[in-house]
Amino acid sequence: MLTRRLATSGLAVSRMGLGTMAWGTRTSPEDARDMLSAFRSAGGTLVDTAHGYAGGAAEDLLGDFLRGPDRDEIVLVTKSGIRRAGGSRVVDCSRRALMHQLDTSLQRLHSGHVDVWLAHAWDEHTPIEETVSALVWAVETGRARYVGVSNHVGWQAARTMSLLAASGVPLVADSVEYSLVARTPERELVDAAAALGFGLLPWSPLGRGVLTGRYRTTVSADSRLASEEFAGFAGRHVGDHTRGVVEAVHTAANGLGVAPAAVALAWVRDRPGVTAPVVGPRTPSQLATLLEAEDVELPEQIVLALDEVSVEHT
């Protein structure tokens, strides 16, 4: 797998990341281990997790898999600032919450540091100066080699970056939803990333699964859309408003002789400002399909056609 520098930093990462959101819930420990092994065998290095994934089970599994010298072969990304309380999603990027969650994550991961630590969301109830102070603390204490943000729009990432710069700490990444059916980062974030020098780590590059085509006719019993936990998440891009994009992806895939998922992933991977899309396969067979994208280079005419049919999602 080819590598890229994470924005203007010296950190090299694989141009595809492996996400772990389903680990400990819909992905068994055995499948998670097999996927990590297959990803690494393919040359993948960037592995993404979060304090809140599966109530901590995702980090626990990843930590067990990475004990020993193998840890140094992985660029480990985790996120803090979101937790579940009473069944609700709570954003808390206060200094207290971020510091506590990072230390907890390091215990689960059996590691003295993470390579990249992200503030998981913009917290409108906490002064950004306070959130930034925790990011600086993480770098200065060696708990994180690099820091960034997640789910921040352009001005939010820019403000965070300017405050970090005052302490001599660069902001290297913003992890955001970005796909053919979610092109909103192109409104301002892509330009901000290019101007300021941070990289984009797109999550859900397959449009929460819709771009694989698995919801074209039916909803399979093992899909996210059929699960109580993820139905709301997966259903956002399912419907008539995305049908044209899904069909265009399938047409391109048929012409190239590859899976639709590989087309959708290659499209976002090669967008300006993108360092590495983060995929979240549930099974080893799904990961095998996604790894095919490494060998896919979309012809210019296909890129232009996909751009045109998806422009309403910008």
Find the helix or strand (DSSP H, E) in which 144 lies: strand 144-150
Residues 6+ apart with CB under 8 A from 114: 76, 77, 78, 102, 105, 106, 143, 144, 145
How crowded is residue 217: how many other Cβ atoms within 10 Å of its Cβ?
Answer: 6
- The percent of residues above 90 in pLDDT, for the chain, comes to 86
Does the pLDDT at position 226 exceed 50? no
260 vs 234 pLDDT, higher one: 260
pLDDT score, position 229: 53
230 pLDDT exceeds 80? no
Judge whether residue 227 has pLDDT over 70. no
- Summarised one tens digit per residue, pLDDT across range 7-21 is 899 999 999 999 999
Nearest CA among 187, 138, 186, 195 for reference residue 161: 195
pLDDT bracket for residue 84 (50, 70, 90)? confident
Q: What is the pLDDT of residue 165?
A: 97
What six digits make up the tokens of 216?
Answer: 């074209």
Mean pLDDT score of the chain: 93
More confident of the two residues 216 and 205: 205
Structure tokens at 271: 């967008």
Point out the least confidently predicted range of 69-73, 83-87, 227-231, 255-259: 227-231
Task: Name the pLDDT band for 164 (thresholds 50, 70, 90).
Answer: very high
User: Tell me: domain 3-207+272-298, CATH 3.20.20.100, correct?
Assistant: yes
Average pLDDT on 227-251 reads 76
Q: CA dihedral in degrees (218, 223, 228, 233; nearest 10)?
A: -90
pLDDT value at residue 234:
64
pLDDT at 113 over 80: yes
- CB half-sphere exposure, 263, CA atoms < 13 A: 28
pLDDT over 60 (residue 306): yes
The tens digit of pLDDT for each residue in 29-45 reads 999 999 999 999 999 99
Determine the average pLDDT of the residues in 139-152.
Answer: 98
Higher pLDDT, 85 or 194: 194
pLDDT, mean of residues 263-277: 98
Question: What are 90-112's pLDDT values in tens digits?
Answer: 999 999 999 999 999 999 999 99
Q: How confident is the model at residue 288, as a pLDDT?
A: 97
Position 258 pLDDT exceeds 90: yes
| Residue ranges covered by each domain of the chain | 3-207+272-298
Q: What is the pLDDT of residues 52-82, one digit of tens each?
A: 999 999 999 999 999 876 788 999 999 999 9
Token pair recorded at residue 285: 């067979």
Which pLDDT score, from 0 to 100, does residue 18 have?
98
Asked whether 143 and 102 are in contact (CB, 8 A), the reply is yes
pLDDT of residue 131: 98
pLDDT of 150 > 50? The answer is: yes
Instruction: State mean pLDDT over 213-239.
Output: 59
